[in-house]
């Protein structure tokens, strides 16, 4: 949900192309706040021992959908489908790679600390990508 939240913040600033379907909706305060709340909830839930692996079907579907949207929004006009496809591939690959790395890190440093580091890295990377493209 982090990409959606970062896009919502950029949409609220008017930094995204409104020609892409869904961007105007993200700029609505209630929708933007909801996207940020979903990202916060996901980050908080990720620290719980009962949190499912990010590679379960529902998680991969949600990641793929938000990645596709983000990739389409940030791609150059005329290359939106390509941007969506690349973003989905990165999200799915990153999910499996991230899970493997996270499991090793949890064994050494614990779930909460590794989750906080991961969240900070993901948020910083997402902001950097959006800032570079807007």
Q: What is the pLDDT of residue 79?
A: 95
Output the pTM of the full model.
Answer: 0.85
Give the DSSP letter string of the chain.
-HHHHHHHHHHHTT-S-TTSTTHHHHTSHHHHHHHHHHHHHHHHHTTSTTPPPTTSHHHHHHHHHHHHHHHHHHSPTT-HHHHHHHHHHHHHHHHHHHHHHHHHHHHHH-HHHHHHHHHHHHHHHHHHHHHHH-
Position 134 pLDDT exceeds 80:
no
Cβ pair 40, 4 in contact under 8 A: no
Tell me how far apart the alpha carbons of residues 63 and 58 are, in angstroms, rounded to a whole number. 9
Q: What is the pLDDT of residue 130?
A: 81
Residue partners of 66: CB distance under 8 A and separation at least 6: 1, 3, 4, 91
Radius of gyration of the chain (CA): 15
Q: What is the pLDDT of residue 23?
A: 93
Tell me how far apart the alpha carbons of residues 94 and 63 are, in angstroms, rounded to a whole number. 10
User: pLDDT tens across 38-79, in order?
Assistant: 999 988 888 887 888 889 999 899 999 999 999 999 999 999
């Amino acid at each position: 949900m982090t990409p959606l939240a970062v896009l919502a913040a950029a949409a609220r600033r008017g930094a995204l192309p409104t020609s892409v379907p869904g961007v105007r909706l993200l700029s609505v305060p209630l929708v933007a706040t909801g996207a940020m709340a979903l990202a916060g909830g996901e980050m908080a839930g990720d620290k719980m021992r009962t949190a499912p692996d990010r590679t379960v079907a529902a998680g991969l579907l949600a990641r793929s959908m938000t990645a596709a949207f983000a990739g389409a929004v940030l791609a150059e006009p005329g290359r939106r489908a390509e941007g969506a496809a690349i973003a989905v591939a990165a999200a799915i690959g990153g999910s499996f790679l991230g899970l493997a790395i996270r499991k090793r890190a949890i064994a050494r440093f614990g779930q909460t600390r590794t989750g906080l580091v991961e969240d900070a890295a993901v948020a910083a990377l997402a902001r950097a990508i959006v800032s570079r493209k807007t």
